Amino acid sequence: MKKVFLFEALHEATDEEMAKDSTVFVLGEDVGHYGGSYKVTKDLHLKYGDLRLLDTPIAENSFTGLAVGAAMTGLKPIVEGMNMSFLLLAFNQIANNVGMLRYTSGGDFHLPLVIRGPGGIGRQLGPEHSQRLEAYFQGIPGLRIVACSTPYNAKGLLKSAIRSADPIIFFEHVLLYNLQAEIPTEEYTVPLNKAEIVTEGSDVTILTYSRMRYNVLQAAETLTNLGYSLEIIDLISLKPLDITTISNSIRKTHKVIIVEECMRTGGIGAELTAQITEHVFDELDAPIIRLSSQDIPTPYNGKLEQATLVQPEQIIETVKSIC
């Protein structure tokens, strides 16, 4: 085992897959000589050259379209959004081409394409740089969506995503790049469609993902000392949801709390609620509770920004009330 930062784990995954497969390349703003806005591609241009670490103009719709064409003709592009919010400018390419071309071509074209980069609510980045894009992309047919949360799953998931024949939206959280943990020194991958049971418990199931995993774990320290038994599940796969793991947990605890950074209206929690109701409604002993971000643009003011997000104290009080 070795200890690495999350951004280093993503760097290793990219480097290893580029070394193994000459069709893999990275494109985006400042991914080459600058090394990426969070240094995920640092110095890779020295090893692989400027065409495999392709610095693009500030034109998201154009370079995402370039990646679509490259994937159709046999390459494996990794598109880095300097901030995932900027990829709203490429929404047409992602929705009408990335998600649909395999279907509309009758299966003649595959799109082994990864779209990755920093997203989520950071520290006073303002509303336009604090988007929760998982809800925007969730309804697009043909896409898979994953959200990494640890150095271990970041590396394993990115390697799996690069090798996948399907287009993957790969979410990294802007505040998790400097998270440090141990990962194996030998090669490994992580499945793209599986949730992770972080802790096992019997009183209540808590479903979360990305940065909110750590707010839940912070709350869990207090709750465990108070005698509560929590089953914490990191969703990882946001589309498709691992409803099997989720359902098995609810059959054990009979209560569920969803903790997300996504907006409440039309967010991941809303889809989770629908699927849980469809699959295991009769197992529930209490209503599903959603703890989500406020349905407002994220304020720049630091205290207001924190007030829009789910805090550990809210999770503690919610567990107490449902149990």
H runs (alpha helix) in the chain:
6-20, 44-48, 60-72, 91-92, 101-104, 134-138, 151-163, 212-225, 243-253, 268-280, 302-308, 312-322
Contacts of residue 103, Cβ cutoff 8 Å, sequence gap at least 6: 141, 142
- Buried b / exposed e along 121-134 (16+ C-beta atoms within 10 A): bbeebeeebbbbbb
Model pTM?
Answer: 0.96
> 32 and 138: one domain?
yes
Q: How far apart are CA 179 and CA 21, in angstroms?
A: 28
Q: Is residue 189 part of a domain?
A: no
For residue 72, the model assigns a pLDDT of 96
Beta bridge partners of 144: 168
Q: Is residue 188 part of a domain?
A: no
* Structure tokens that stand for 202 in this block: 């019997």
Q: Which of 129, 156, 183 represents a domain boundary (last residue)? A: 183
Contacts of residue 107, Cβ cutoff 8 Å, sequence gap at least 6: none
Q: Is residue 190 part of a domain?
A: no
> 177 and 209: one domain?
no
Q: What letter would DSSP give residue 262?
A: E
> 12 and 73: one domain?
yes
Q: Is residue 235 part of a domain?
A: yes
H runs (alpha helix) in 111-227:
134-138, 151-163, 212-225
Beta bridge partners of 5: 180
Q: Is residue 191 part of a domain?
A: no
- Buried b / exposed e along 239-258 (16+ C-beta atoms within 10 A): bebbbebbbebbeebbbbbb
Beta bridge partners of 293: 263
Sign for the pseudo-dihedral over CA of 213, 251, 141, 41: positive
User: Measured between alpha carbons, how far is residue 20 from residues 13, 41, 48, 144 in Å?
Assistant: 11, 16, 12, 23
> 121 and 209: one domain?
no
Report CA 285 to chain centroid distance, whole Å: 30
- In tens, the pLDDT along 200-254 reads 999 999 999 999 999 999 999 999 999 999 999 999 999 999 999 999 999 999 9
Contacts of residue 214, Cβ cutoff 8 Å, sequence gap at least 6: none
The CATH number of whichever domain residue 9 belongs to comes to 3.40.50.970
Q: Which of 146, 162, 183 represents a domain boundary (last residue)? A: 183
Q: Known catalytic residue: 129? A: yes
- In tens, the pLDDT along 84-123 reads 999 999 999 999 999 999 999 999 999 999 999 999 999 9
> 35 and 153: one domain?
yes
> 230 and 179: one domain?
no
Q: Which of 183, 211, 245 represents a domain boundary (last residue)? A: 183
Range of the domain at 208: 196-322
Average pLDDT over residues 78-83: 95
Report CA 176 to chain centroid distance, whole Å: 11
> 175 and 309: one domain?
no
> 147 and 18: one domain?
yes
Domain tally, the chain: 2
Instruction: Give me the catalytic one of 12, 129, 172, 173.
Output: 129
For residue 150, the model assigns a pLDDT of 98
> 96 and 212: one domain?
no
For residue 154, the model assigns a pLDDT of 98
- In tens, the pLDDT along 256-303 reads 999 999 999 999 999 999 999 999 999 999 999 999 999 999 999 999
For residue 44, the model assigns a pLDDT of 98
Among 272, 261, 145, smallest CA distance to 205 is for: 272
Q: Is residue 272 part of a domain?
A: yes
The CATH number of whichever domain residue 255 belongs to comes to 3.40.50.920
> 257 and 204: one domain?
yes
> 150 and 17: one domain?
yes
Q: How far apart are CA 175 and CA 108, in angstroms?
A: 40
